[in-house]
Structure 1
Amino acid sequence: MGNDFAAMLTARNVSSALTDIDSSMLMPEDVRLEILSRLPVKSLMRLRCICKSWYALIENPKFISKHLENFNDDNAYLIISYQVYDDAGHDNLTCLFKDKTLADISYENIHRPILRTLLGPYDGIFCLCDDSLIFLWNPATKECRTLPNYSNFLPTCATFLYENAIFGLDHTSGDYKVVFICELWNEQIEAPYEHSHVAIYTSTTDSWRVSKGNVEWIPYDFKSHFKSTHLNGVFYWLVSRDDGDHSNIMLSFHISDEEFREIERPRIPYSSHESLGLFNNCVSLLHFDKSSHCIDIWLMSDMNWIQQFAIGPFLGVMSPRGIWKNNAVLMESDNGTLLLYDLIVEEVRDLGRFTRGTLGTAILTYCYKEKIRLLLQVMSKCLVGATINHVLSF
């Protein structure tokens, strides 16, 4: 049964069929699971309210895994987040492109509970940061989980300069973890701390701690959010050292062993106009040469780098912003326009201008696959004292 047929089954159509007949008598459980696992999350959230048996089925880990299998990269949406700067200040905005194929480039604004830093997603869950407050947010299920206050873990006289975070599942322990990395200002001496501060949240303890290797400070700068990606439980960043050395520094973090490792970049000149992404299940580096206006796409395989594409020149492009579904490159122009370059037909499309005023913008792009995974399930081992807020969503 294909996804096209399943998409035609709305929550209202399915629920009306159960008005007089119990669902368990209507069809075998395996058939029911197959049909429901192909429905969008918004419909499933309504169907949970029909009866206890359907509620139990949709929250069953087997069903969630089946739903994850059916909603792969082909079912991903494009979400963008950007800050618009003007003379009055700046706004943090988030938009969802409603057509998964991007044939229709109309989009709608997404209300999110915190307007500061948006990071992720991992299995359909975003991480939101607002100084010492950190949240996990699933737009599809309208849930937002507030983590314990991080400020209690900071040194005295410290305030935030910049924050970054990752969220993922440790498949070895089955524990969900948040790794929070921040640059701090020392108010006592009125100067920044020498290194970035690191702490790890684990769902089993519902608390913060240092890493297994007792790493609390690392000498790296993590300022750019589009210079990161993750694959198979390993997170990657393009970083610079605190001493200003920009050359050949790429950092990985294994969420199971909680170790940071430096790995070698491609042997190409450093450029501030780079981004990381995934291409054909490989970590990819998009390198923009401002002198030639071309983008080189490198893939990492077995810790070796291979140049896969050389595209361009692109006049008026400021920087690459990521890979879209293995066949296109997202780019930001000098005037805040989001561009899509199709690697197959070699054409550029304009997806819209995301700017206002004269001071510009910075666009972050996300390949978002909505998931039925509930934060209540993710944090099931630490529900006592947990705060679950329901927020508006698309």
Structure 2
Amino acid sequence: MSQRKEEGGAILRRRTKHDDDDLPDEIVLDILAKLPVKYLLRFRCVCKPWYSSIANPSFISTHHLNHSYVIHIPRNIPIPFFPGSSHSSDQVCTLACDRTFETISEFRVPFTFQSGFSHFVGSCNGMLCFTSSRSWSNVVYLWNPFIRKFKRLPNSQLFIMSLGIGFDSQNNDFKVVGIPRTFAKPKPPPEVEVYSLSSDSWKRVELGISWRPNVVSHKFNCVLRFPFVCGHLHWMIEMIEEGGGQEKHDTSTILSFDVNSEKFKELPLPDDEGSCITKCVTSFKGKLALIKFGNGTQPHITQCSIWVMREYSVIDSWNKLCVLSIENLTDLIGFTKDGLLIRKSSRPVSTNSELESKDKFVLIDLETLHEKEISTHAKYGFDEATYMESLALLDGTNVISY
């Protein structure tokens, strides 16, 4: 034990001209990059060079690659609004191992929403984004739980319907993109609002793509959080189009937003004949993915076709990964590194002479199709995302440390 302390002391000791036996700086930084955030926050105080190195964007990016987990947050059913009431402080985030789902730590949401429970927008490079569960609220928070700081964003000027969070790698900047609610049904939103953490402000960005003239109505599919893949945020738009006569048909497209250039483009879906009840865009192992839902051959069976875009933006690279037949599917939660996480209804069981039905959460391995039940205390389902410890700082106004 004493030998280990001496070795640790040698690494932590400030280098001088006479310390010829000390480790080279690049090896020290490589060791630091493998340490948890809580230790790095302390080590910033060792000396100014260490503080500068740990705060360097390049070091932060390297640290991201070494620490990946799963974070899940229970969904709550908002209760009617009462003046002076706040409920989001009751929500607890759970950090878990990305393979076993075993709990590593828990931390309470440190801010509250007067209009109801918080809604989890997403996770990107260790930064969490939340908004109110009430659709008329434009309150948005960014939160880095590992440095124990959160920030309320300035209010958006548009009536935001849905949000996504991404990271601008060219400018080392987090961005939140807001899609506004549109009341003119045939038209898409003519512009969106983009928040930049570096400038701490919103700006409007034109959609910049032509719209089909025969579209009667459209809506954004919000089954899952909007995925951030290859520097792009993605939304699925479901449309009703008129044909040559009076007939109408459904069509869909993926709207892609380049967080670096702040430009939009459309990505077509894969060609796949067959019935489909609904579909959603998501991500799996860092690639854009699509899940299509259809009726199975037996009652209570849902058929899920899972597609993955092997090469981003190359339409011909859409590949059907597998087709699952899932019994008693009640909710789709999302992908982890190991498979698809869902909620299934179970048969009622007798509890204190009463029948009680309790849903179960199941992780499906897409290679073996093996189902593994996940333990959680969530009553109404939960939101899940890949998460990594992060040194990403929150500075400027409306930043609170706790």
Q: Normalised by the shorter chain, which TM-score bucket?
A: 0.7 to 0.9
Q: Find the aligned partners of 1:371 and 1:125 in 2 and give their Cα distance.
A: 7
In structure 2, which of residues 196, 200, 217 is the aligned counterpart of residue 206 of structure 1? 200
Residue 66 of structure 1: SS of its match in structure 2? helix
Matched-pair identity in %: 24
Q: Find the aligned partners of 1:345 and 1:214 in 2 and give their Cα distance.
A: 43
Give the total of aligned pairs. 348
Cross-structure match for 2:41: 45
Q: What is the CA deviation profile of residues 268-327 of structure 1, one whole-angstrom value per residue up to 9, with x for unaligned ones?
A: 54433x44333343211122334342322111241232211122x3212224322211x3
Name the amino acid aligned to 1:317.
Answer: L
In structure 1, which of residues 335, 341, 363 is the aligned counterpart of residue 364 of structure 2? 341
Higher RCO by CA contacts (8 Å cutoff, separation 6 or greater): 1
Establish whether residue 387 from structure 1 lines up as the match of residue 393 from structure 2.
Answer: no
Residue 39 of structure 1: SS of its match in structure 2? coil
Q: How does 1:281-360 map to 2 (within 5 A)?
A: 281-291=286-296, 292-301=301-310, 302-304=314-316, 305-311=318-324, 313-325=325-337, 327-334=338-345, 336-352=359-375, 354-356=377-379
Q: How does 1:1-394 map to 2 (within 5 A)?
A: 17=9, 21-23=13-15, 25=19, 26-69=22-65, 71=66, 75-85=67-77, 93-102=91-100, 104=102, 108=106, 110-114=108-112, 115-130=117-132, 131-150=137-156, 153-154=157-158, 163-172=161-170, 175-183=173-181, 196=189, 198-211=192-205, 221-222=219-220, 224=222, 226-241=224-239, 246-266=250-270, 267-268=272-273, 269-272=275-278, 274-291=279-296, 292-301=301-310, 302-304=314-316, 305-311=318-324, 313-325=325-337, 327-334=338-345, 336-352=359-375, 354-356=377-379, 361-376=380-395, 383=396, 386-391=397-402
Name the amino acid aligned to 2:382.
Answer: I
Aligned pair in 2 of structure 1 residues 199, 373: CA closer, same or farther (>3 Å)? Answer: same
Name the amino acid aligned to 1:134.
Answer: V
Aligned pair in 2 of structure 1 residues 61, 280: CA closer, same or farther (>3 Å)? Answer: closer
Cross-structure match for 2:353: none
Q: Find the aligned partners of 2:305 and 2:333 in 1 and give their Cα distance.
A: 13
Residue 128 of structure 2: SS of its match in structure 1? strand
Q: Find the aligned partners of 2:231 and 2:62 in 1 and give their Cα distance.
A: 20
Aligned-pair Cα RMSD in Å: 3.8
Name the amino acid aligned to 1:145.
Answer: K
Structure with the greater alpha carbon radius of gyration: 2
Name the amino acid aligned to 2:255.
Answer: L
Aligned pair in 2 of structure 1 residues 227, 220: CA closer, same or farther (>3 Å)? Answer: farther
TM-score of the two chains, using structure 2 as the length reference: 0.73
Unmatched tracts of structure 2, length 5 or more: 242-247, 346-357
Q: What is the CA deviation profile of residues 238-287 of structure 1, one whole-angstrom value per residue up to 9, with x for unaligned ones?
A: 23348897532322222234333333223354433x44333343211122
- State whether residues 225 and 364 of structure 1, in contact with CA within 8 Å, keep that contact through their aligned partners in structure 2: no
